[in-house]
Structure 1
């Protein structure tokens, strides 16, 4: 059965998978950023310290990053639909706990459990798409998916500001309940359960990787505050590195049933796609961390107005990503990644010039749109490149690894730009903040260019077509 006019060529079942995977992922990604505009309100209403506010944001990121690969493995072992629904229900329960939190300690605990639910939702969503859409359709589906999830990242400050200003901070979390429950119910009703793997769950690998990521992310999060040479940060990073090495060794011993089988890294294209994902996200989150603050500190805007000022960036992402996804089968991932990240770097460099010149907002609109168009081109192409390089049975593992590196890239990006900002700028005055933010934009542009350079290792148009034909013939034989 053919799809409707909105999604031509997609079957009804495929449309349900795409819509429900995108809805759950949007919610999970949105909650990583939406709380940032409520921090000042939380400080007053819950008498929260600066350290407690930091943990309100980071508790989510820590559990999310540390458990992503475990979430992907659970989906492969016990059923992707089943574990996706479980992740949504856990996310809803944790959201209710956050909304009812009488103290910051309760709120931080709820945020950590929210991250656990998101760690089930995000990798399984990508695996569901990879299984539901064959290669000729997958790129377009991922373009739509990327536009929706990317919109969640960039609209977080606007969405949070609107709720805090119009309702109350608790509604940032209450609003998750009807969404999560509706998506879970529709998933059980409309999406059949796929095949599960008979191999046992790699508990040793799950434990080692989760502990390794916990150490690395904790060290990166606290490096700027505690000092990169402090004992606690060095111990955390060192322990994460040692546990990571132990994890790699365990995967080599348990080759076929490993959480991340070594066979996944035989393809240089896959390794390049994962590296591009890390650099792309580092650049995006680094810019996003200071963008809304810039409009509030230097222009005196409210949280809602600051979020609205970023709309040219947000709207462009939503419009361009689906189109870029449809173009992948025609021109290949490499052209879109290299051009997209190059365009994004150009837009950020332009913004850096405007920041230093204290230019009026009207001059910001075009470079914001350019930067948004660039990342919109690259994001679905990177996802397509990763999933195209693995067998259907490995899509859950590849999706988990992709999302783990993306989350780690966001943490690295924020840690890097905060370190740069504190050296050259500050909050003492609008001029001081602008000087720091301009340098931050230059760093993020450099990260984008590095991603474009790595993207040259992805497949071009001819290689993309050959791989697609091979997949089609393989499916027929």
Structure 2
């Protein structure tokens, strides 16, 4: 399809679409893609607000509830490489539709789960649906929109990502408080049905490319990631013993073997390593890892703190980030359009600087008796920062992709992004539980000073036995008081236990967020290290190029786009 404003003969103008959409605008593909992507991103954060509720209602530990997120993120992350390749092989449309159906059905299963084990299993299956959909959203936008309008399209896509990840806690809080935790999953069913309608109606059939199925690569990536994440997630439960470190080391070795195998497979690899020869693509992957790590690393401990320490209801806790959610949705389209005019690195770097500074700000104001508005302000600024990140980062990652590797490149970028979430979920749970083991006894020693002398040491000894599951479930109210203790002293002990719990948990959350801030600084460094490549508004692939000519034609057209990037690569 050629626009009336086509460019000079022999070269498509900036408004030329990459494929024939039979008279429809490229924008017609966005409703299905954005609705599907909204559900995916929503479900990476919506569970966090329900953690205390799940601990109580499913009688689970905080580590087990952490696996509700990690199981989803793990299957999501390790399958993205193969699902990106499936999009190249069978086309983005059918793979996206299958993923949408799987995601919607498994959301129903999540809501029906009556035990923590069943919920974790259903979430793992839900991650498969998310993995099938995600690479197809970026791949289709890259292949359908011409370069002149791709940044604006990515801006809409980025707005969806930003709003969903911050809206998750707000919507989750409303649903948990009014209808029950099951509805944080049931909400996906009507959204999925509408997305399926638009997908069947509007998504085009795009050219496919024959590829060998890299079964060895799939196996190595799944095994390696599982061993690493299991070690990080379960380390505290096993006192960081030899077995845990062996699991992490074995996972690292398997992932090393995966990289070696991918190099040997060349362009038939699950993850073609030549994609990483482009400097900005490689650095975008590092930055994408940092973004998703930060989203997980902030919301998991922060939402528990709001409910446990400050005593907010799930809905009120979620509303702390509502202003940031709204501003993220406003800023993201603006940032997407801006990335059509200025180098994406500066937009991304601005976003990282804002969110890193905001997380440090939060560590300074998180206290047992903090005023809620002291937290609302930095969370609002955090939303502005995330609005600058998603779409410009995606534009930087996909600017050099050609027709044959669009799916693989999108899969690679989304894989590193989601690995950030997996590692973030595991690392934050591990660090939080580790810090609680230190901060609660320390706070108990301080709180014991207010008790009669004979009650102090038994109190400190008792508080040292409080574990993370009691913390997340608010277990201090049932702190055991020895028989025969006078009523007034018993009340003093319970009050001291509550004070120690709140102080210890606040300190642990503040210290845990410093890890998130450090990873965000890594993302900022990656953004600043990118090449400042100005957007190119020419060289789009002619309509039907992928179907009426050889792949080489598509590659030459894409190479025209990617030339400035290619010249600025590192070998």
1:364-443 paired onto structure 2 within 5 Å:
364-421=375-432, 422-423=434-435, 425-426=439-440, 427=471, 428-443=500-515
Kindly state the Cα deviation for residue 197 of structure 1 after the two structures are TM-superposed: 1.1
Distance 1:141 1:106, change over 3 A: same
- Give 1:52 shift: 4.3
Q: TM-score, normalised by structure 1?
A: 0.90
Aligned mates of 1:375, 1:59 — CA distance in 2? 25
Paired residues of 1:221 and 1:411 also in contact (CA < 8 A): no
Q: 1:339 to 1:99 in 2, by over 3 A?
A: closer
1:68-467 pair list within 5 angstroms = 68-231=80-243, 233-356=244-367, 359-421=370-432, 422-423=434-435, 425-426=439-440, 427=471, 428-460=500-532, 463-465=533-535, 467=536
Kindly indicate whether the alpha-carbon contact (under 8 Å) linking 2:48 and 2:303 is maintained by their aligned counterparts in 1.
no
CA deviation vs aligned residue, 1:171-224 (integer Å, no higher than 9, x gap) = 222222222233123212111111111122222222222222222222222234
Q: Using the alignment, how far apart are the partners of 2:102 and 2:295 within structure 1? A: 28
Distance of 1:64 and 1:31 partners within structure 2? 11
Offset of residue 116 of structure 1 = 0.8
SS of the counterpart of 1:331?
Answer: coil
Counterpart for residue 17 of structure 1: 29
1:103 deviates by 3.5
CA 1:288/1:38 → structure 2, altered by over 3 Å: closer, same or farther? closer
> Structure 1 12/164 Cα, relative in aligned 2: closer, same or farther at 3 Å?
farther
Q: Which one has the bigger helix percentage?
A: 1
> Following TM superposition, by how much is the alpha carbon of 1:82 offset from its aligned partner in structure 2, in angstroms?
0.1
Q: Is the 8 A contact 1:13 1:191 kept in 2?
A: no
User: What is the Cα deviation at residue 409 of structure 1?
Assistant: 1.1
Q: TM-score, normalised by structure 2?
A: 0.76
Shift of 1:354: 2.1
**1:356, distance to aligned residue in structure 2 (A):** 5.0
Alpha-carbon shift at residue 47 of structure 1 (Å): 4.3
RMSD: 2.6
Alpha-carbon distance between aligned partners in 1 of 2:50 and 2:381, rounded to the nearest angstrom:
29
Q: Distance in 1 between matches of 2:58 and 2:431?
A: 31
1: CA distance between counterparts of 2:428 and 2:67?
19
The residue matched to 1:260 in structure 2 has which SS? coil
Deviations 1:351-376 (A, max 9, x none): 22222595522333432222221222
Encode CA deviations 1:355-403: one digit per residue, 9 max, x unaligned: 2595522333432222221222122221111101222321211111111
Report the alpha carbon displacement of residue 53 of structure 1 after superposing the two structures with TM: 3.0
Residue aligning to 1:6: none
Larger Rg: 2
Instruction: Tell me if the contact between 1:77 and 1:201 (Cα under 8 Å) persists in the aligned partners.
Output: no
Of residues 32, 43, 52 in structure 2, which corresponds to 1:31?
43
**Aligned residue in 1 for 2:466:** none
- The 3 A distance-change label for structure 1 pair 364 and 101 is closer
Does the 8 Å contact 1:352/1:442 carry over to 2? yes
Aligned residues of 1:94 and 1:110 also touching (Cα < 8 A): yes
Identify unmatched segments of 5+ residues in structure 1: 3-8
Distance in structure 2 (CA, Å) of the matches to 1:389 and 1:22: 23
Structure 2 Cα separation of the partners of residues 49 and 297 of structure 1: 15
Q: Is the 8 A contact 2:292 2:421 kept in 1?
A: yes
In the TM superposition, what is the alpha-carbon distance from 1:74 to its structure 2 partner?
1.3
Higher relative contact order (CA 8 A, sep 6+): 2
Contact 2:70–2:426 (CA under 8 A) maintained in structure 1: no
State the alpha-carbon separation in 2 of the partners of residues 333 and 102 from structure 1: 46
What's the CA shift for 1:415? 3.6
Shift of residue 271, structure 1, vs aligned partner? 0.9
Q: Check whether the contact 1:77–1:200 (CA below 8 A) recurs between aligned residues.
A: no
Partner of 1:65: 77
CA distance in 2, matches of 1:359, 1:164: 24
Rounded to whole Å, the distance in 2 between the matches of 1:439 and 1:221 is: 18
**Kept in 1: contact 2:166–2:383 (CA 8 A):** no
